[in-house]
DNA sequence: CAAGTTAATTACCGTTCGGTACATAACAGC
DNA sequence: GCTGTTATGTACCGAACGGTAATTAACTTG
């Protein structure tokens, strides 16, 4: 270590994440990245590798924060039904308050890259599985507490909640009337009864 | 009309559709298109306009066929529950038998282009709405026939079925164990009871 | 068969792409 | 303050991008 970095690696990665998240992999150029990250191309390559490695680092950062977001909402002490309901409502509210809704970076990557790049197929599948497990634990907790009926198939329900969240997130990309989305959330919540 | 076209416009558009469907807009180059369509760039421009217009034509073709596929399944004379169930199962089966599952071209476009291009936001939203109406009519038919319970909120249920289909289609892009998907289908079907 | 019109082919346009060689600048240790 | 090492900025690389001008070929009509 003789000359220190003049930029903060994590701040730069955060900027890259936001850009890839909003525009996707192909539509984001290195020129866009240098502008947004505030550093030149050789610095990017020295710190993160090539474009695809930078993208993967950005996605991993997103996935980590996204998982934390889910844990915070679902592993709270309150009612299980309420926690799940609130999580869904918050995701919807965020999408509609943000003018240029980026949706979910992981979902965007599943659509754009997973079918052609095994590394992203695996990465996104594992995150999806992780979210399912968090839902599963939450449902089991609700069953033990007597809040959810014991005959509920926890695994199947957890899967379905993840499927519904993916569907809602993607649907909102075309900005449908909010009524549609809110109605769907309420309908999915019936599965908890 | 003095010199006739040497290629069939619809065959060429079909090729373009398959390519855009599989690779998306940005990742498909004009060079890819000329190879696959079997015609040169000037012919593409003469027949379809620029890349984005060709993409839109391809998407419109897909949407038209996709809508027909849904109508055929849902407006059949048989049981409503069975028709919906079969539709879901067929979509899942197709995704898993195809090695390189392209998913749904319309959904892919919602994710890649809708947030940045109003024309595709509108186009995909309208198709989504159209599918919802087909589901709605099917559900109403089931209610009138006494197959579905009268207290069911048909609009909300139709929305939710579309949301679930989107979620399933996107989820399958990361090739999860099929058990997850099948379980979700069965769980969603509970909403019809 | 000649004239007029349109399609196809070739070759090319300027621009931007992802990526890098090279020179310069900033630090640590002696 | 010198030396060695690493980071930065500049300038550039070949390749590929989307798109087009210009030529050649194929047909219909008179």
Question: Is there a contact between A168 and A92 (Cβ–Cβ < 8 Å)?
Answer: yes
Residue B85 lies in a domain: yes
Question: Is there a contact between A61 and A17 (Cβ–Cβ < 8 Å)?
Answer: yes
Q: What tens-digit pLDDT sequence spans chain B (193 residues)?
A: 566 776 788 999 999 999 999 999 999 999 999 999 999 999 999 999 999 999 999 999 999 999 999 999 999 878 999 999 999 999 999 999 987 779 999 999 999 999 999 999 999 999 999 999 999 999 999 999 999 999 999 999 999 999 999 999 999 999 999 999 999 999 999 999 9
Distances (CA, A) of A85 to A42, A78, A82: 46, 12, 5
d(C-alpha B20, C-alpha B26), whole Å: 9
Mean pLDDT computed over A92-108: 92
Q: Which two structure tokens, joined as six digits, stand for A63?
A: 């996935």
Mean pLDDT computed over A23-49: 96
d(C-alpha B133, C-alpha B151), whole Å: 19
Please indicate whether, in this complex, the C-beta atoms of B165 and A164 are within 8 angstroms of each other.
no
Residue A22 lies in a domain: no
User: Using CB atoms and an 8 Å cut-off, which of residues 54-113 of chain A contact chain B?
Assistant: 100-103, 107-108, 110-112
Distance of CA B165 to the CA centre of its chain: 10
Among A35-44, A75-84, A136-145, A164-173, name the one with the lowest average pLDDT. A75-84
Question: Is there a contact between B179 and A129 (Cβ–Cβ < 8 Å)?
Answer: no
Instruction: Enter the DSSP assignment of B113.
Output: T
d(C-alpha B67, C-alpha B71), whole Å: 6
Give the mutation candidate from A27, A52, A115, A172 for the B interface (greatest B CB count, under 10 A). Answer: A115
Residue B71 lies in a domain: yes
Query: Position of tokens 């968090």?
Result: A134
Helix, strand or coil, per DSSP, at residue B68: helix
Residue B117 confidence (pLDDT): 96
Residue B133 lies in a domain: yes
Strand nucleotide closest to residue B6 (CA to C1'): C7
Cβ atoms < 10 Å from Cβ of B13 = 18
Please, what is the angle between helix B178-189 and helix B154-171, to 10°?
A: 180
Strand nucleotide closest to residue B30 (CA to C1'): D18
Q: Which helix (H) or strand (E) holds B94?
A: helix B80-97
For residue A116, give the nearest of B38, B106, B26 by alpha carbon: B26
Task: Report which residue is nearest nucleotide C7 when distances run from CA to C1'.
Answer: B3
Residue A84 lies in a domain: yes
Residue A36 lies in a domain: no
Please indicate whether, in this complex, the C-beta atoms of A183 and B24 are within 8 angstroms of each other.
no
Residue B10 lies in a domain: no
For residue A62, give the nearest of A95, A115, A93, A16 by alpha carbon: A16
Residue B124 lies in a domain: yes
Question: Is there a contact between B151 and B144 (Cβ–Cβ < 8 Å)?
Answer: no
d(C-alpha B43, C-alpha A72), whole Å: 56
- A-B Cβ pairs (cutoff 8 Å, strict): 156
Of A23, A125, A174, which has the smallest distance from its Cβ to B121's Cβ? A174
CATH code of B137's domain: 1.10.357.10
Total domains in the fold of chain A:
1
Would the Cβ of A26 be found within 7 angstroms of any atom in strand D? no
Please indicate whether, in this complex, the C-beta atoms of B191 and A187 are within 8 angstroms of each other.
yes
Asked if residue A104 has pLDDT above 60, the reply is yes
Residue B1 confidence (pLDDT): 56
For residue A164, give the nearest of B159, B25, B15, B22 by alpha carbon: B159
For residue B103, give the nearest of A6, A114, A135 by alpha carbon: A114
Q: Residue A146 is part of which domain span? A: 59-192
Give the mutation candidate from B112, B159, B183, B188 for the A interface (greatest A CB count, under 10 A). Answer: B159
pLDDT digits (tens, 9 = 90+) for A146-157: 999 999 999 999
B46 CA, D9 C1': separation in Å? 45
CA trace torsion B62, A110, B164, B67 (10° rounding): 0
d(C-alpha A20, C-alpha A55), whole Å: 7
């Amino acid at each position: 270590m003789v000359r220190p970095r003049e930029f903060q690696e994590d701040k730069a990665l955060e900027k890259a994440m936001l850009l890839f998240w909003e525009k996707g992999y192909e539509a984001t150029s290195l020129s866009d990245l240098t502008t947004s990250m505030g550093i030149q191309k050789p610095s990017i390559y020295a710190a993160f590798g090539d474009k695809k490695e930078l993208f993967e680092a950005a996605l991993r950062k997103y996935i980590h924060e996204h998982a934390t977001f889910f844990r915070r909402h679902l592993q709270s002490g309150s009612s299980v039904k309420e926690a799940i309901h609130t999580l869904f409502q918050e995701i919807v509210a965020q999408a509609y308050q943000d003018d240029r809704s980026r949706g979910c970076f992981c979902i965007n990557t599943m659509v754009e890259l997973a079918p052609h790049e095994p590394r992203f197929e695996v990465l996104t599948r594992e995150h999806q599985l992780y979210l399912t497990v968090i839902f599963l634990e939450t449902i089991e907790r609700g069953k033990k507490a007597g809040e959810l009926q014991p005959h509920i198939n926890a695994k199947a329900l957890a899967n379905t909640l993840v499927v519904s969240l993916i569907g809602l997130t993607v649907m909102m990309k075309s900005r449908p009337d909010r009524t549609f989305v809110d109605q769907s959330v309420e309908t999915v919540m019936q599965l908890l009864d």
